[in-house]
Structure 1
Amino acid sequence: MVKQANKPTVWFNADEADILEAFSSAVTSTQLIQLIGPSSQLVIIDEAQQIPDIGKKLKLIYDNRPDIQVIATGSSAFDLQSQTAEPLTGRKKTFQLYPISFGETVKDTSRLEAKRLLDSRLIYGLYPEVLNNPGQEKEILIEIAQSYLYKDVLQLDSIRKPSHIEKLLKALAFQVGSEVSYHELAQTIGNIDTATVEKYLDLLEKAFVIFKLPAFNRNLRNEIKKGKKYYFYDNGIRNVLINNFTFPEMRQDKGALWENFLISERLKFNAYQSRFVNTYFWRTHDKAEIDYLEETDGILYAYEFKWKDQKVRFPASFLQSYPEHQTAVVTRQNFEGFLGA
């Protein structure tokens, strides 16, 4: 399919059988350039991970026609990255597309409208198809979970027991905002060891379902040193896993909903603004804790997340041990600044 643009553009979808066959059969630079069209300057290949040796084929195009820009996309980022990493070293730039950000909804509508729909975003998340089909959010999220979490993810590493992944994701969904123990997760799932739990969690991170927040420790003896928390890239996925679409004010886990939303949205903001920060949570063995830390140029920025506006006292042990710090409490009344919106 050819699209009009500022320069000659051609778009291929490797889910199409004939396109997949054509790219699979093309093995030389001459064949590949003939396939994409010698006059093309921008080539887009969707679902590129379907094509065998796609990394080598892209390298051949680049090395022989560096004037052609190629954009390779794929819903299975783990497969795409693994197939392109080595052949395209030094020849590629990787972009990660997150679900729609809160800041993008502000630009698309208005600040007032985006805030008015905040509770809906906390429950149904921000996947494009969810946003574009109001009234069908549950059905769409269920389909996303079944077709991606329980299909594509399971195929990435030929997982033999899908029930283990399902139980693991549900356990993580119920533990958002809490420290995670591999040993406890293994016991919860049953008939699985901690090494396999770690392997599955790594797989789910690479598939961009969840991401990890490590514990910060530097000075204090009683700081948690190997702790970790896991969050979901999208609140809607988290809620479909626990089958709970009740709105926040009626829920006991609204604090976890709020925390997952803020940290995932901050991740998007940092990525889109090219803010290279180290991110953590902080906790000591005597239960002093801070929800979220960012470290930038030697300064620690400490954040507490609260559903309602209230006074918060940051732990004295943290403030004294790390004098180069700034603190803030993020609530529903002031969260836009934290999200760069």
Structure 2
Amino acid sequence: MEPLARIAKRRVSDLLDDLLQVEPVIALHGPRSVGKSTVLSALATARGVPVLDLDDPGTRDAVAANPQTAIATPGLLCVDEYQHALQLLDALKAQLNREGTLAGTAVLTGSTSQDALPRTAQALTGRLHTMTIWPLSQGEISGVNEDFLPALRAHPDATVAARPSSTTTRKAYVDRLCAGGFPLALRRTGTARDRWFDDYIRQSLERDAVELVRIRQRAMLRELLGRLAGRTGQVLNLANASQGLTGERKTIEEYVRLLEDLFLIDRLPAWGKTLRARAAASPKVHVIDSGVAARLMRVSPAKLATLDPAALADFGHLLETFVVGELRKQVSWLDEQVSTGHWRTHDGDEVDYVIEFDDGRVLAFEVKANERIAGADLKGLRTLRDALGNQFIAGVALSTGLRSFTYEDRIHIMPIDRLWTPVSPHRP
């Protein structure tokens, strides 16, 4: 995979422009170094306004001491890393109370989840629209506009038939998942990329984590992250993951939540608990970026490319995390709110990713690391289809194979790269 040689156009930029027509304040949250500052800078340049960068200590101190003055600027207010001076939110609230709730008042970015911030961060409840910007999608990296989910929802059979074959090799998938989606990592290769991942993980744990809470056992936090990375794509079992660690159960749970707040891991909730009494309730854990996960696991592209049993197991879990990450990004661009999760029953039926739309209809995805998929591999999709009836739009088994086809009623097999291959070649 060639290093990224340009600034990728972000899908979230178009969403921001649309939302600024109706929302007074937008907070764009996401991992550090994911490209939030670049998106905000481009928006500010287009609007002819400055950016208040609160990562700069001098700017931060000045804004914290003079929040009313800081927001008293004509045009759109743009603030980077706003969590460093939450006094701004009270000042914004007072301004909106005086002048009315005006659309397009401010855009803020933050490198922690909003839920992790103190109660004062809730000052703009009802006037603050939050969005998440994830690492670059494969389409953003390649410069194409992914339309897979809307097309699959509207016309599943036509979507399957639109691209009957693929040329992406297993090695190419390995390279993509090991590279991940962070722009600065994608501009590096080999040991330089490894060093970037190591620095990113260290700074997230030693600087960002400490800014949020007082960490009593930093070494344990690092060890816990490594253990969770080794279980990426699997059902979260905290008792098993924390075995041998010295912290109490409450501390372990707090540290897991902290890793979520820092956008290092994500808990994918169990879905469909009311669908069948025997549905499992435990979430799955995914490292947010597959490149970070691979580095934490100390697996290289060369190792994953082999057919060694241990490498095959690692590849399977990382591939699921990679695919779930791509679906998560595409879900964040949809025009409607959806619920997502994984479905697993105590009878052994499993579906890796489920998307439920507002009308109750469902798309389901199973990720397979093999090139060929047997009928038995579709058991979970079949069971879910039969349980949902007409609410089941389509089930897709995504594999490293080369063919795209319908296996049986509403169940399809597609290469993984269909996720970022535009269905309509005429779309921009």
TM-score band (shorter)?
Answer: 0.7 to 0.9
Higher mean C-alpha displacement, 171-180 vs 261-270: 171-180
Find the counterpart in structure 1 of residue 395 from structure 2. Answer: 327
2-structure distance, mates of 1:51, 1:130: 29
CA contact (8 A) 1:282 1:293 kept: yes
Q: Displacement of 1:284 after TM fit?
A: 2.5
Equivalent in 325, 342, 362 of residue 300 of structure 1: 362
Residues 152-179 of structure 1 show CA distances to partners (whole Å, capped at 9, x for unaligned) of 1243121201122112211111112221
Find the counterpart in structure 2 of residue 177 from structure 1. Answer: 233
Find the counterpart in structure 2 of residue 21 from structure 1. Answer: 61
Find the counterpart in structure 2 of residue 211 from structure 1. Answer: 266
Higher mean C-alpha displacement, 139-148 vs 209-218: 209-218
Equivalent in 89, 92, 98 of residue 55 of structure 1: 89
Q: Structure 1 vs Structure 2: percent identity of aligned residues?
A: 24
AA aligned to 1:51 is A
Q: Displacement of 1:254 after TM fit?
A: 0.8
Identify if the C-alpha distance between structure 1 residues 104 and 275 changes in structure 2 by more than 3 Å, giving closer, same or farther: farther
CA contact (8 A) 2:77 2:105 kept: yes
Pairing 1:97–2:149 present: no
AA aligned to 2:65 is S
Identify if the C-alpha distance between structure 1 residues 174 and 87 changes in structure 2 by more than 3 Å, giving closer, same or farther: same
Pairing 1:264–2:325 present: yes
Superposition pairs of residues 7-18 of structure 1, within 5 angstroms:
7-18=47-58
Pairing 1:228–2:283 present: yes
Superposition pairs of residues 59-98 of structure 1, within 5 angstroms:
59-64=93-98, 66=102, 69-78=105-114, 81-82=117-118, 85-98=121-134
Tell me the SS of whatever aligns to 1:133: coil
Structure 2 gap segments, 5+ residues each: 1-40, 147-165, 403-414, 423-428
Find the counterpart in structure 2 of residue 121 from structure 1. Answer: 176
AA aligned to 1:249 is A
Find the counterpart in structure 2 of residue 200 from structure 1. Answer: 255
Identify if the C-alpha distance between structure 1 residues 114 and 306 changes in structure 2 by more than 3 Å, giving closer, same or farther: closer
CA contact (8 A) 1:54 1:83 kept: no
Identify if the C-alpha distance between structure 1 residues 128 and 337 changes in structure 2 by more than 3 Å, giving closer, same or farther: same
Query: Structure 1 runs of 4+ off > 6 angstroms?
Result: 112-116
CA contact (8 A) 1:130 1:137 kept: yes
2-structure distance, mates of 1:321, 1:77: 35
2-structure distance, mates of 1:207, 1:175: 18
Q: CA RMSD in A?
A: 3.2
Q: Displacement of 1:17 after TM fit?
A: 3.4
Tell me the SS of whatever aligns to 1:95: strand
CA contact (8 A) 1:62 1:68 kept: no
CA contact (8 A) 1:79 1:156 kept: no
AA aligned to 2:388 is Y
The structure showing larger relative contact order (alpha-carbon pairs under 8 Å, at least 6 residues apart) is 2
Q: Displacement of 1:227 after TM fit?
A: 1.6
Identify if the C-alpha distance between structure 1 residues 8 and 246 changes in structure 2 by more than 3 Å, giving closer, same or farther: closer
AA aligned to 1:282 is W
Identify if the C-alpha distance between structure 1 residues 53 and 119 changes in structure 2 by more than 3 Å, giving closer, same or farther: same
Q: Displacement of 1:204 after TM fit?
A: 1.8
Identify if the C-alpha distance between structure 1 residues 290 and 47 changes in structure 2 by more than 3 Å, giving closer, same or farther: closer
Residues 208-246 of structure 1 show CA distances to partners (whole Å, capped at 9, x for unaligned) of 11111222333434332x221110110111122222223
Equivalent in 146, 149, 172 of residue 202 of structure 2: 146
Q: Displacement of 1:104 after TM fit?
A: 0.7
Aligned length: 332
Q: Displacement of 1:190 after TM fit?
A: 2.1
1-structure distance, mates of 2:383, 2:396: 17
AA aligned to 1:220 is R
CA contact (8 A) 2:144 2:420 kept: no
CA contact (8 A) 1:55 1:83 kept: no
AA aligned to 2:129 is K
Q: Displacement of 1:26 after TM fit?
A: 1.3
Q: Displacement of 1:137 after TM fit?
A: 1.1
- With the length of structure 1 as denominator, give the TM-score of the two structures: 0.84
CA contact (8 A) 2:269 2:340 kept: yes
